[in-house]
């Protein structure tokens, strides 16, 4: 068989997060060459510019593996959910860095903060307690999130069970890259009546949510009270934390939440729902908001 190769098709120009590669397909005892579409995964470096005019500093603050697309939203959402910025007014500009003619251009984004905005590198040290293997207790983790930024208690409007059942199907219809590759996470924001507001896809579930939050932050639409967020896969502590910081009162998932995610959601009055599939779901906290549909 020939060596595998990468091919670019017309479809990939419309979906930059998709790449077509040659594969060997095995069935029973025979093999044949074929093509398969895969989700693109590339590094994104986020750089930060800060300080007074004439004394600006630039620092690399994060490298994340992501699916290219909506990179400026991802950078803005990351900075917001890490408490580096508090509003879109803190951002002076967002641009790609480097030489457009060189390979890898588009994998480094620089966010310039307005001169009055200060950057404290210690803010990003919170990553050590979100690691599930770090040994820090759940109470300490929640207190650290609370110290990073005051989180307003989510609104308490009702959610109809019939609406919750429709969310995965509505999201799937807009997951173009997942439909093509089967290999991406998604975060989808809905209105309380089930209308899709925004959906983003990425190889990283945290990146997908940062892209949603960053897009709406740049449009100055935060906080997102009166909405419900649906995420693919499981719900981690950090996904709940990011949703709370954006003011989202309800979070639903196709998969299961972790114990610390439930504890954090309960602490701040969020409605947390898991296993939304096959006509069922579990409510882990905030059940009083769910209205049974007739």
Contacts of 81 (CB under 8 A, 6+ apart): 210, 213, 241, 242, 245, 246
Residue 34: both structure tokens together: 């074929």
Q: What is the C-alpha separation between 116 and 196, in angstroms, rounded?
A: 36
Catalytic residues: 134
Contacts of 202 (CB under 8 A, 6+ apart): 66, 67, 74, 184, 185, 208, 211
Cβ-count burial of 51 within 10 angstroms (0-12 exposed, 13-18 middle, 19+ buried)? Answer: middle
Contacts of 195 (CB under 8 A, 6+ apart): none
* Measured CA angle at 175 (ends 170, 180), to 5 deg: 135
Q: Assess contact for 38 and 18: CB atoms under 8 A.
A: yes
Cα torsion 248, 251, 257, 262 to 10°: value is 50
């Amino acid at each position: 068989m020939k060596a595998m190769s990468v091919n670019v098709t017309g479809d990939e120009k419309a979906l930059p997060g998709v790449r077509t590669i040659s594969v060997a397909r095995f069935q029973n005892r025979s093999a044949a060459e074929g093509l398969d579409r895969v989700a693109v995964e590339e590094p994104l470096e986020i750089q930060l510019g800060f300080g007074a005019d004439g004394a600006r500093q630039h620092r690399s603050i994060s490298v994340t593996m992501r699916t290219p697309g909506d990179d400026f939203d991802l950078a803005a959402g990351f900075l917001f959910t890490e408490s580096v910025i508090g509003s879109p007014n803190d951002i002076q500009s967002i641009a790609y860095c480097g030489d457009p003619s060189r390979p890898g251009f588009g994998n480094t984004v620089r966010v310039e903060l307005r001169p009055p905005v200060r950057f404290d590198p210690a803010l990003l040290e919170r990553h050590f307690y979100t690691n599930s293997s770090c040994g820090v207790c759940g109470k300490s983790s929640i207190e650290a999130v609370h110290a990073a930024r005051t989180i307003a208690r989510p609104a308490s409007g009702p959610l109809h069970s019939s609406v919750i059942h429709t969310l995965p199907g509505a999201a799937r219809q807009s997951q173009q890259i997942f439909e093509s590759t089967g290999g991406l996470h998604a975060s989808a924001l809905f209105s309380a009546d089930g209308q899709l507001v925004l959906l983003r896809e990425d190889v990283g579930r945290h990146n997908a949510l940062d892209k949603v939050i960053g897009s709406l932050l740049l449009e100055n639409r935060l906080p997102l009270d009166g909405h419900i967020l649906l995420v693919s896969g499981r719900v981690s502590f950090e996904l709940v934390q990011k949703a709370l910081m954006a003011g989202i009162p309800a979070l639903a998932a196709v998969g299961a939440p972790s114990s610390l995610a439930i504890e954090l959601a309960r602490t701040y009055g969020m409605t947390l729902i898991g296993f939304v599939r096959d006509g069922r779901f579990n409510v882990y906290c905030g059940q009083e908001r769910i209205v049974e549909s007739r």
